[in-house]
């Protein structure tokens, strides 16, 4: 059974204080690892897909990396608008997604 | 281009009542999904439809039924609502490429009393 564990559950940052979120996974035949952002009361919004170990992708202050067992979402010099819940999901051979519980990030000005 | 739309946005039911959650997408996607999201548990797949005319069970299908009405629409029905079905429900769709990301709707917040 596919398993995705995200840590920490919650992260409080000062504006400009860089940090990283972790997503560890066990899956049989990884087809892709996805990062989503979710704002309160809204649906998840796609950020990145990573396909193989060593791959990195960036978008503004966010950078996602992937190893064979985990992925990291690095937030560089965060701003209050980066406050959200960040979800990690893995896609296996049957093309369904298995989600982690998420990390809620709060950035204070 | 509205993406994925869901109705209603909020609903309160009494135990035993039935209702249908509606989902539509205008991206010409083949695959559609229904999830529920509960605090601390992440998104869990209820049912999915890989293509028009097919549906399959996900991780938590008990108490639900689905209908893929056409390529655009995928509905979720609760025949006899229970308090354990209080949750936020999300519909998603995915394009035809194997690794395409899923696009999510805004969600339906359902409370069963």
In tens, the pLDDT along A16-44 reads 999 999 999 998 888 899 999 999 999 99
Chain B residues whose CB is inside 8 A of the A34 CB are 101-102
Q: Considering chain A, what is the average pLDDT of its residues? A: 94
CA angle (A40, A42, A48) in 5-degree steps: 100
For residue B41, report the phi and psi dihedrals to the nearest 5 degrees: -120, -5
Per-residue pLDDT reduced to its tens digit, A7-21: 999 999 999 999 999
| Contact call for residues A36 and A43 (beta carbons, < 8 A) | no
Contact flag A101-B107 (C-beta cutoff 8 Å): no
How many residues are there in chain B?
A: 113
**pLDDT digit string, tens, across residues B7-58:** 999 999 999 999 999 999 999 999 999 999 998 888 999 999 998 989 999 9
Q: Which residue has the higher pLDDT, A93 or B85?
A: B85
Cβ neighbours for B7, distance < 8 A, ≥ 6 positions apart = B21, B22, B108
Nearest residue in chain B measured CA to CA from A48: B101
**Model confidence at B98: pLDDT above 70:** no
Nearest chain B residue to A104 by CA distance is B40
> What average pLDDT is seen over chain B?
94
Q: Give the pLDDT band (50/70/90) at residue B99.
A: low
């Amino acid at each position: 059974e596919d398993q995705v564990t995200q840590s920490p559950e919650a992260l409080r940052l000062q504006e400009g204080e860089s940090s990283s979120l972790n997503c560890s996974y066990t899956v049989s035949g990884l087809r892709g690892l996805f990062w989503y952002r979710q704002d309160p009361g809204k649906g998840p919004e796609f950020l990145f897909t990573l396909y193989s170990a060593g791959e990195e992708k960036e978008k503004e202050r966010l950078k996602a990396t992937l190893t064979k067992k985990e992925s990291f979402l690095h937030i560089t010099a965060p701003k209050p608008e980066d406050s959200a819940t960040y979800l990690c999901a893995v896609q296996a051979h049957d093309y369904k997604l298995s989600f982690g519980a998420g990390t809620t990030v709060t950035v204070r000005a | 281009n509205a993406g994925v739309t869901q109705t209603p946005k909020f609903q309160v039911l009494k135990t035993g009542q039935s209702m249908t959650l509606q989902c539509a997408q205008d991206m010409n996607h083949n695959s559609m999904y229904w999830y529920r999201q509960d605090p601390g548990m992440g998104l869990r797949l209820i049912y999915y439809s890989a293509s028009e005319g097919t549906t399959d069970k996900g991780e938590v299908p008990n108490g639900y039924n689905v209908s893929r009405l056409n390529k655009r629409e995928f509905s979720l029905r609760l025949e006899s609502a229970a308090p354990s079905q209080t949750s936020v429900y999300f519909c998603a769709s995915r394009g035809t490429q194997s690794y395409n990301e899923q696009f999510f709707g805004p969600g339906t917040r359902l409370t069963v009393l």
